[in-house]
Amino acid sequence: MSLGVLSLVLAAAFAHAGWNFLAKGAEGGAAFVWLCAAIGTLLYVPVLALALVADPGELGWTALGLMAGSGALHALYFVLLQRGYAAGDLSLVYPLARGTGPLLSGAAAILFLGERPSALAVAGALIIVAAVFSLVGRGGSREAIGFALLTGTTIATYTLWDKHAVGTSELAPVVYYWGTNLTVALILAPWVLHRRGDLARVWAASRRNAAGVALLSPLAYVLVLYALARAPVTYVAPARETSILIGTLLGTTVLAEGDGRRRMIAAGAIVLGVTALALG
């Protein structure tokens, strides 16, 4: 993995941990996910316009189909993640979900996409995954763990889907993710329209959190898409999990979720794993 790609992934990690921190403190549910998607779609229209002029990429029915599929997967991901946060701590749900994702996507990339990472990169990925699972800690509700694992499975699925979109199909990351975000809003719109009371409650309690997520979530993922277009899934997917170090720090300090020493040692192991990935 080149230094440039690693820089993209690390910047995405900071943005990703930031929006998850905001989502954890929000009035959750599908109404919050819809609000984030709707605000994000509007917020990034100027960026979309610039991207269409500078680098529109491949456009057509195939691109629309890939955006629609990604949007469906991301809608499921966001809803499952919010359910997990409603049931458990940030420092439980976030690392478990993020750790399951690269484990599954990396394995699938090797089996189905023919990717062949170096031995050092594989070692780095395994260190990251082991450290992530050590962060889960003791206790934690079965509901929270279940939703976290389902979220991780969804992460692995959309990572491989999006790798195909921006890699093999050569879709422009900004245009692609804008379409994905729009799809999320459209999919959840019927549900929200039938529950306007939930939307009003979320708007009153968490509109600032929604605006922050709407800004940071697309930014984080577009950076990842640019990285996926330039490097194998088996390198990008584990490296982006350095966001766990940031999320763990936020959970154990700002949210006072405890067990800080053990969790920060595990987070340090993630840094070691990322170094192995970069050298590999």
CB atoms inside a 10 Å sphere around CB 189 = 13
Tokens of 45: 């229209």
The whole-number average pLDDT for the span 21-35 is 90
Which residue from 280, 173, 271 is spatially nearest to 232, judged by alpha carbons?
280
What digits encode the pLDDT tens for the residues 242-252?
888 888 888 88
CB 270 within 8 A of CB 131: yes
What digits encode the pLDDT tens for the residues 104-152?
777 777 787 777 778 887 888 888 778 777 766 565 678 888 998 899 8
Alpha-carbon 106 to chain mean position: 15
| Residue 15 pLDDT grade (very low, low, confident, very high; cuts 50, 70, 90) | very high
Q: What is the pLDDT of residue 72?
A: 97
CB 16 within 8 A of CB 243: yes
What digits encode the pLDDT tens for the residues 166-184?
877 778 889 999 999 999 9
Q: What is the pLDDT of residue 217?
A: 94
What digits encode the pLDDT tens for the residues 50-59?
999 988 878 8
End-to-end Cα distance, the chain: 7
Q: What is the pLDDT of residue 44?
A: 95
What distance in Å separates the CA atoms of residue 16 and residue 244, rounded to the nearest whole number? 9
Q: What is the pLDDT of residue 139?
A: 59
Q: Is the pLDDT of residue 100 over 90?
A: no
Q: What is the pLDDT of residue 135?
A: 67
CB 166 within 8 A of CB 225: yes
Which residue from 165, 157, 170 is spatially nearest to 109, judged by alpha carbons?
157
